[in-house]
């Protein structure tokens, strides 16, 4: 009675999926068993092996019809467990490998054995490989329960990274992160139990054939989605993200912000597009994207008001996570079914571009922090001359994020904008543009301070090593040239698009984004401009004075609101409300 | 009322109590205990799912039992990690509150004009 489920046999090259999990996990075990002295050789073996596996998956995938499957122990689902890779998995595997590699090079000097307190580097390298293993499992898992276990592994590896330096403040951040993530994973597990009870399988392909719009399935979908949103830190469930990402050491922040939040985002995509594409419907998708729009607004405004650079970057992550969720309503077809088309490709490319750019940005900020001994935005004037490599990395990563051609973000934005036109949802086009402007705003804000001449010569606390600076720069450049890569074998992208990335029209769009960003930065950032003393600036200031005061008042209001939302009871109630509203909108659609 | 319904109600009660505790209590240790209660509710739900499989002709569906055991292991490690963090926090800070002082007093408005 059911249509035959495709690909229930192991394909050639399927063992690569097992290897992609086994290699990092073996690294973790070896490091742990052999002890500190052998950390370096183990890491420097595992990372090239992991890169090679990711590259092999990229090469093999188009040749085997876009799917790699491995049945563990040759047991077919529903009784056995399958590992599957499609185009999405392949590009995410490759991104993870590249980012981990860059972060490892960056951290090689930071976390050299004997450089800090002995246990910190040891723990860092173990956790780095553990995160890699967990992420790879998420990308190739073929059933919802394996995804749950992988998600938990990811959390358990990410939480200690937050508190790596062992200060009370970061321990608190780690505990908040852990407890809220656990709440999220219990929600996910509850949904899994309901789905198993209804359909007797958790395999993604089998489930997608069996699932129908029953009350139980809708409740399960709402529970699982809201649990995953809590783990992704989508506004208003972001109480743990800013302190956790801002408190961790630079290399750890890069991993947390670039990769870890993408893990749960990827599961949301799997769930909505591959397990139950017909269930969510128009209202639920709009709701998800509305939360995303809220994240862009609140995250960006609060980012512009931060005193510390790391917190600014952490809040910008919050905004960028919101940006990712705009893909859901744009992927709806006429019958309210989510289709794996251009919008999904755009969202994935945005996620990849953010993973590379934000990791580079956090590493650059870490170098600036190490170099100057602080990261107060008002005190970084002259940084561009003292630390040119770090500031340039920050600038390039920022440009890639705000959508300068040929960056991944510009390609993603173009894809998503075309989808807004196709589906007639013009309001999301506005949100996409404003999101780009806000990104430009905080990049411009930081660069304006970093490029302005200092009052007195900058005294460097320490000179960051060149190797780590180059690793961050390479990652930023990687993000800046993502738009030129051949995506067609992996993601559904029309061929004609790339020509549109260059030309006068693109230049005009870029200028609008940057100018809008400058205006937003001037209006919403409370910090005195580095050139505030000059006469021209003073003349300029009289014109928008009252308006700027109103904007600042609004910003302060948003900041207070954000503070309230980041309290436990408020965040918990938000979580329940999100689950209820999602369920209600899904019930309404069916 | 059949056994499945009774157990279902128990599961719902455990989940509800756990959720309430996790959201409302300020002490981290109680939050951890509440999380365990919440988790137990979900595991009970899995057990019921296995029993319902029994109604469909199986002896007793073994897959949910395997899932529950994995889930218990995960919940156990989560609890251990949380307790370890909490102990370390208590050793360093001398208290276990999650609200740092910086979070308790919002920064004054820094705008100069």
- For the stretch A106-119, pLDDT in tens is 888 766 655 455 67
User: A65 — alpha (psi -120 to 50), left (phi > 0) or beta?
Assistant: left
- Chain A segment 226-255 residues within 8 A of B by beta carbon are 243
What would the two tokens of residue B105 be? 């007093």
| Bridge partners (DSSP) listed for residue A70 | A83
A3 touches chain B (CB under 8 A): no
Q: Which of B38, B53, B61 sits opposite A186 (nearest CB)?
A: B38
* Among A104-108, A462-466, A541-545, the range of highest mean pLDDT: A104-108
Query: DSSP label at A461?
Result: S
Backbone angles phi, psi at A295, to 5 degrees: -65, -40
**Full domain range(s) for residue A360:** 167-589
* CB-side neighbour CA atoms (13 Å) of B55: 11
Cis peptide before A454 (omega within 30 of 0): no
- Tell me how crowded residue A467 is: count the other CB atoms within 10 A of its CB: 11
Cα distance between residue A100 and residue A47, in whole Å: 8
* Residue A70 φ/ψ, nearest 5 degrees: -135, 125
Alpha-carbon gap, residue A52 to A45, rounded angstroms = 11
Q: Is the model's pLDDT at A497 over the cut of 70?
A: no
Phi, psi of A487 (to 5 degrees): -90, -15
**pLDDT above 70 covers what percent of chain A?**
93
List chain A residues with CB under 8 Å of B88. 163, 166, 171
How far is A566 from chain B, CA to nearest CA, in Å?
A: 9
SS percent in chain A: helix, strand, coil, step 5: 75, 5, 25
* Closest-CA residue to A242 (of B96, B19, B100, B91): B100
More confident residue, A586 or A536: A586
Identify the three-state secondary structure at position A238: coil
- Residue ranges in A200-280 assigned as alpha helix (H): 204-210, 215-232, 241-247, 250-255, 261-269
Query: Which chain B residues touch A192 with a CB distance below 8 Å?
Result: 67
Work out whether the CA dihedral A481, A487, A492, A495 comes out positive or negative. Answer: positive
For residue A346 the two structure tokens come to 């755009």
In A334-425, alpha helices (H): 342-372, 383-386, 388-402, 408-423
**Rounded-to-integer distance, Cα A548 and Cα A205, Å:** 54
Q: Which residues contact A23 (CB under 8 A, 6 or more apart)?
A: A46, A49, A50, A53, A133
Q: Which two tokens stand for residue A173?
A: 């951040």
Judge whether A292 lies within some domain: yes
What phi, psi does A77 have (nearest 5°)? -60, 155
CB-CB contact of A218 with A586 (8 Å): yes
B110: chain A residues, CB-CB within 8 Å: 305, 307, 526-527
Distance from CA of A238 to the nearest CA of B (A): 15
Number of domains in chain A: 1
pLDDT tens digits along A263-305:
999 999 999 999 888 888 888 889 999 999 999 999 998 988 8
Strands A82-85 and A68-71: antiparallel
Of the pLDDT bands very low, low, confident and very high (cuts 50, 70, 90), residue A532 is low
What's the CA gap between A319 and A322, in Å, rounded? 5
Task: Convert the pLDDT of each residue in A350-363 to its tens digit.
Answer: 999 999 999 999 99
User: Are residues A178 and B82, on separate chains, in Cβ contact within 8 Å?
Assistant: yes
pTM of the model: 0.91
Whether residue A543 lies within 8 A of chain B, CB to CB, comes out as no
Average pLDDT score, chain A: 85
B35, B67, B85 ranked by CB distance to A174: nearest: B85
| Other beta carbons less than 10 A from residue A169's beta carbon | 19
State whether A163 and B85 contact (CB < 8 Å): yes
**From A155, A569, A575, residue closest to B24, measured CB to CB:** A569
The β-bridge partners of A69 are A84
On whether any CB of chain B is under 8 Å from the CB of A565, the answer is no
Answer yes or no: is A83 within a domain: no
Q: How far apart are CA A185 and CA A148, in angstroms?
A: 7
Chain B partners within 8 Å of A312 (Cβ): none
> In terms of Cα–Cα distance, which of A232, A497, A517 is closest to A346?
A497
Q: What's the average model confidence in pLDDT over A466-477?
A: 87
For B39, nearest residue in chain A (alpha carbons):
A186
Q: Do A171 and B89 touch (CB under 8 A)?
A: yes
pLDDT band at residue A97 under the 50/70/90 scheme: very high
B105: phi then psi, degrees, rounded to nearest 5:
-115, 105
Q: pLDDT category, B110, cuts 50, 70, 90?
A: very low
For the four alpha carbons of B11, B13, B14 and B19, in that order, the dihedral sign comes to positive
Q: Tell me the mean pLDDT in the region A82-100.
A: 91
Q: Do A569 and B23 touch (CB under 8 A)?
A: yes
CB A556 within 8 A of CB A211: no
Measured in residues, chain A has a length of 590
Of A109, A147, A169, A383, which Cα lies nearest the Cα of A271?
Answer: A147
Q: Determine the Cα–Cα distance for residues B20 and B33; give it in Å rounded to an integer.
A: 12
Looking at chain A, the whole-number percentage of residues with pLDDT higher than 90 is: 32
A201's CB contacts (< 8 A; 6+ apart) are A77, A78, A143, A207, A210
Average pLDDT over residues A481-492: 82
Q: Please name the residue of chain B whose CA is at the shortest distance from the CA of residue A523.
A: B111
**How much is the average pLDDT of B59-83?**
88
Residue A214 domain-assigned (yes or no): yes
- Count the neighbouring beta carbons within 10 Å of the beta carbon of residue A391: 22
A301 in a domain, yes or no?
yes
DSSP A487-506: -TTTS---GGGGGGGSSHHH
Q: Within a domain: residue A278?
A: yes
| DSSP label at residue B98 | S
Cα-Cα-Cα-Cα torsion A402, A405, A407, A412, nearest 10 degrees, comes to 80
Q: Which residues of A125-148 are buried (b: 16+ CB within 10 A; e: fewer)?
A: bbbbbbbbbbbbbbbbbbbbbbbb
Within A407-544, where are the H helices?
Answer: 408-423, 426-451, 466-480, 504-524, 535-542
- pLDDT at B48 > cutoff 90: no
Whether the predicted pLDDT of A79 surpasses 90: no
Q: Would you call A152 and B64 a contact, using CB atoms and an 8 Å cutoff?
A: no
Question: What is the pLDDT averaged over residues A375-387?
Answer: 81
User: Do the chains contact at A145 and B67, CB–CB below 8 Å?
Assistant: yes
Chain B interface includes A197 (CB < 8 A): yes
The mean pLDDT value for A539-555 works out to: 72
Residue of A146, A159, A189, A310 to mutate, interface with B, max B Cβ within 10 Å: A189
Interface predicted TM-score (ipTM) of this complex, two decimals: 0.87
A 466-495 residues with CB < 8 A to B: none
- Does any domain span residue A357? yes
**Mind listing the domains of chain B with CATH numbers?**
3-96 (1.10.287.3510)
Q: What is the per-residue burial (b if ≥16 Cβ within 10 Å, else e) of A511-549?
A: eebbebbbbbbbbbbbbebbeeeeeeeeeeeeeeeeebe
A228-242, A265-279, A444-458, A531-545: the lowest-pLDDT one: A531-545
Closest residue by Cα to residue A213 from A280, A310, A168? A280
Token pair, residue A305, equals 């008001």
Residue A474 resides in a domain: yes
Kindly list the distances between the CA atom of residue A110 and the CA atoms of A162, A198, A202, A238, A367, in Å, as whole numbers in the listed order: 16, 51, 43, 29, 10
In a domain, A21, yes or no: no
């Amino acid at each position: 009675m059911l249509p035959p489920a495709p690909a229930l046999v192991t394909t050639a090259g399927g063992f690569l999926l097992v290897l992609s999990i086994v290699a990092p996990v073996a690294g973790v075990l070896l490091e742990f068993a052999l002890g500190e002295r052998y950390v370096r050789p183990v890491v420097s073996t595992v990372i090239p092996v992991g890169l090679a596996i990711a590259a092999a998956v990229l090469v093999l995938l188009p040749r085997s019809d876009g799917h790699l499957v491995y049945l563990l122990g040759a047991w077919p689902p529903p009784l056995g467990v399958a590992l599957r890779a499609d185009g999405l998995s392949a590009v995410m595997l490759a991104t993870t490998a590249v980012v981990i590699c860059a972060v490892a090079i960056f951290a090689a000097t930071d976390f050299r054995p004997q450089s800090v307190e002995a246990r910190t580097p040891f723990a860092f390298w173990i956790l780095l490989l553990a995160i890699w293993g967990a992420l790879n499992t998420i990308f190739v898992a073929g059933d919802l329960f394996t995804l749950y276990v992988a998600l938990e592994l990811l959390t358990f590896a990410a939480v200690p990274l937050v508190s790596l330096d062992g200060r009370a403040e970061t321990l608190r951040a780690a505990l908040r992160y852990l407890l809220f993530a656990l709440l999220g994973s219990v929600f996910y597990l509850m949904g899994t139990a309901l789905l198993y009870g209804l359909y007797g399988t958790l395999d993604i392909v089998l489930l997608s054939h069996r699932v129908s719009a029953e009350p139980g399935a809708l409740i399960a979908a709402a529970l699982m989605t809201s649990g995953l949103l809590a783990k992704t830190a989508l506004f208003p469930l972001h109480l743990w993200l800013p302190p956790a990402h801002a408190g961790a050491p630079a290399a750890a922040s890069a991993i947390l912000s670039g990769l870890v939040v993408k893990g749960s985002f990827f599961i949301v995509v799997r769930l909505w597009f591959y397990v139950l594409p017909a269930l969510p419907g128009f209202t639920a998708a709009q709701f998800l994207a509305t939360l995303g729009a809220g994240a862009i607004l609140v995250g960006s405004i609060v980012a512009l008001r931060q005193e510390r650079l790391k917190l600014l970057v952490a809040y910008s992550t919050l905004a960028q996570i919101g940006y990712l969720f705009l893909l859901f309503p744009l992927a709806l077809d006429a019958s309210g079914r989510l289709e794996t088309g251009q919008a999904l490709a755009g969202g994935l490319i945005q996620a990849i571009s953010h993973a590379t750019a934000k990791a580079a940005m956090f590493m650059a900020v870490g170098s600036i922090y190490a170099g100057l001994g602080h990261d107060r935005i008002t005190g970084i004037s002259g940084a561009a001359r003292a630390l040119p490599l770090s500031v340039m990395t920050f600038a390039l990563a920022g440009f890639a994020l705000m959508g300068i051609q040929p960056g991944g973000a510009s390609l993603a934005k173009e894809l998503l904008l075309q989808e807004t036109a196709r589906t007639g949802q013009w309001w999301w086009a506005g949100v996409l543009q404003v999101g780009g402007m806000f990104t430009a705003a905080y990049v411009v804000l930081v660069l304006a301070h970093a490029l302005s001449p200092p009052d007195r010569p900058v005294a460097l606390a320490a000179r960051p090593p060149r190797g780590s600076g180059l690793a961050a720069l390479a990652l930023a450049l990687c993000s800046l040239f993502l738009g030129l890569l051949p995506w067609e074998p992996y993601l559904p992208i029309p061929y004609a698009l790339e020509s549109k990335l260059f030309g006068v029209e693109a230049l005009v769009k870029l200028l609008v984004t940057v100018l809008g960003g400058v205006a937003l930065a001037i209006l919403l950032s409370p910090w005195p401009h580095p050139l505030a003393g000059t006469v021209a600036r003073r003349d300029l200031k009289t014109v928008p004075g009252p308006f700027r005061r109103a904007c600042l008042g609004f910003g302060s209001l948003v900041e207070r609101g954000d503070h309230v939302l980041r309290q436990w009871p408020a965040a918990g109630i938000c979580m329940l409300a999100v689950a209820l509203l999602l369920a209600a909108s899904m019930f309404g659609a069916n | 009322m059949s056994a499945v319904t009774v157990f279902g109600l128990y599961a719902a009660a455990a989940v509800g109590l756990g959720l309430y505790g996790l959201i409302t209590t300020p002490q981290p240790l109680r939050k951890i205990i509440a999380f365990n209660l919440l988790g137990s509710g979900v595991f009970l739900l899995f057990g019921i799912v296995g029993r319902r499989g029994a109604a469909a002709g199986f002896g007793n569906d073994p897959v949910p039992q395997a899932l529950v055991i994995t889930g218990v292991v995960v919940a156990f490690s989560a609890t251990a990690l949380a307790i370890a963090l909490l102990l370390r926090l208590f050793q360093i800070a001398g208290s276990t509150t999650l609200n740092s002082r910086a979070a308790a007093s919002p920064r004054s408005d820094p705008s100069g004009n």
